[in-house]
Chain A
Amino acid sequence: MAAAAAALDGGLRVVLVDSGPAPGGQFWRHPPDHARETLPTGDLHHDLRTYRALRAALAAHERTGRLTLLLDHPVWTTARAADGFTVHAVDRSRPPEERAVVLRAPALIVATGAYDRQLPFPGWDLPGVLTVGGIQSLLKGGGVVAGRRVVLGGTGPFLLPVAAALAARGAEVVAVCEAGAPSAWLRHPAPLLRNPAKWAEAAGYAYTLARHRIPVRTRTGIVGAEGEERVAVVRIAALEGGGAPMPGTERRIEADTVGVGWGFVPQLDLLLPLGCDLADAGDGTMAAVVDAGQRTTVPGLYAAGETCGVGGAALALSEGRVAAVSVLTDLSAPGRPGLRPPAAERRAVVRHRAFARALARAHPVPRDWPAWLTDDTTVCRCEEVTAGTVRAARADGSAIDHRQVKQLTRAGMGWCQGRMCGPAVHCLVAARAEPYTPAERLIATPLTLGALADSGEPFTGETPSEPT
């Protein structure tokens, strides 16, 4: 949104393509506009002022005809063309109908965000166990509370807004289990001190959690879930320094819902086929390499937000604006962006990036997490491949990455194409220091053969289009 608004302010024509029913991404996930009255979710959001300003700016540009806003349009692939890029999307705004849409643009900004990183544990495939992002998306997008008694676990600051949002909507959050240790923050105080806004936000969550008497247990992990048709009991344990459960500390808590998240994995599906370089993001994932102007290593291709490394919404906004200014500069479009000078925006990017790195260091995926797996724990949810099978593939077949494990065991070969099990399988078989690189998927979203068949004809010859 920020990139599109900045590019439009600078005089470009923009096509904004989003698979969601309303603009805003994951942070400002909203029900579709027609449901604003029936599904009020404003109380769950932060910095709505910025969101509303961006929506107003986009609406004004839509009226002048320079912005084409394509919602409910998942992009299934992108390709390089002689004079720029081809973007292949499906129009799903009138289900069950699907229509192929092909866009051409001289410049492309990809800001496809990220998804929750998951680590398996016994019982994690029971209904009632959700990703923390999934709980949040039900709340923000549908006004729905996933359960009554909830235990949250994993690592990272994202557990706190989800706990606060659940409490605000009447769920009982029995415990928040943070695998990390808060003292890790104190070892890297500088980037934190330079980001007072983040402290204010954290203080807000701390207040909400205290008011609802939600205990946050540090160095604690969810090591199991039990139940028949739905989770009924969560097992939690104190964790040793490396993350293995400490013997004798296990406790059983009754709960009907569990939310788990271990940070996020950048969504690189649209970038990988274009061949841009990736680099270690410092949190166990790979992200797009960009220069100070958010240019990837592919000419004409820009990336912003979590695709350049997970770092939060404020960073994504700044990066989006910087990317738009680069597009304007590179296409030498007329007019100037009516925004803060890029130098200030770039400083904001540097500051937020440093903050994100400090957070990643404070909330690593614990080295010894596989200690809570049993041989029959499901690792790949789609193909129902167990930890024992994956470990055997490493031992017998000397598989050293998740792609080889996939060939040997089918882990990662199902519907989700390894998005859920990939990072975990990677940890189980690869060298410790190596970050997870997602497999290249030719098709980012399933589509009907009919839609594929009529995708030959370009739909429009617009100037820069920006899937976000």
Chain B
Amino acid sequence: MTGAAEETDVPTAPAFTVDGEPLAFVPGQTLAAALVASGRVAWRTTRGGQRPRGVFCGIGVCYDCLVTVDGRRGQRACLVQARAGMAVGTGEGDDD
């Protein structure tokens, strides 16, 4: 499992923020991969039943993994490559 980043030439692992909290990732991972590596499989709730949802198909077809990236809503975390400094927002409001 690739949990924390193992970088040799960079002293600190790159990170993006999730609802303001920093999350380290390995360059090349998607936001969903980094979230799952950190132990999170759910990061939003559905509009109707308030059910928790995260990654399901992993390839961009199910839209369960929606997040807000740098203010853009409705982004699929399994498709967006993580970049240092990205601001990722989760929770409700991504489902409409």
Contacts and interface: CB of A to CB of B under 8 A. Distances in A.
B58 A131 contact: yes
A147 B40 CA distance: 10
Interface stretch (A135-143, A316-324, A398-406, A457-465): A135-143
B75 to A, nearest CB: 8
B56 A229 contact: no
Majority secondary structure, B binding face? loop
Contacts of B54: 127
A32 B51 CA distance: 33
A445 B30 CA distance: 18
Contacts of B30: 141-142
B62 A419 contact: yes
Interface residues of A, number: 51
Contacts of A32: 28, 81
Given A31-B28, A143-B26, A416 B61 contact: yes
A29 to B, nearest CB: 8
A138 B63 contact: no
Most chain A beta carbons < 10 A, residue from B5, B6, B52, B70? B52
Interface in B26-64: 26-30, 32-34, 36-37, 41-42, 46-49, 51-64
Contact of B62 (A96, A136, A146, A416): A416
Given A31-B29, A39-B2, A127 B63 contact: no
A319 to B, nearest CB: 21
Most chain A beta carbons < 10 A, residue from B26, B48, B60, B62? B62
Contact of A95 (B1, B7, B66, B80): B80
Contacts of B26: 35, 38-39, 142-143
Given A115-B57, A230-B42, A138 B32 contact: yes
B48 to A, nearest CB: 4
A349 B32 CA distance: 36
B73 to A, nearest CB: 11
A67 B80 CA distance: 25
A449 to B, nearest CB: 12
Nearest to A421: B62
A420 B64 CA distance: 10
A134 B57 contact: yes
Nearest to A269: B61
Interface in A176-227: none
Contacts of B32: 138, 142
Contacts of B49: 384
Contact of A420 (B34, B61, B66): B61
A127 B41 contact: yes
Given A142-B26, A142-B30, A144-B33, 9 more contacts: A26-B59, A31-B28, A39-B26, A125-B53, A137-B78, A142-B37, A147-B41, A384-B49, A446-B74
5 contacts: A38-B26, A38-B27, A115-B57, A144-B2, A384-B46
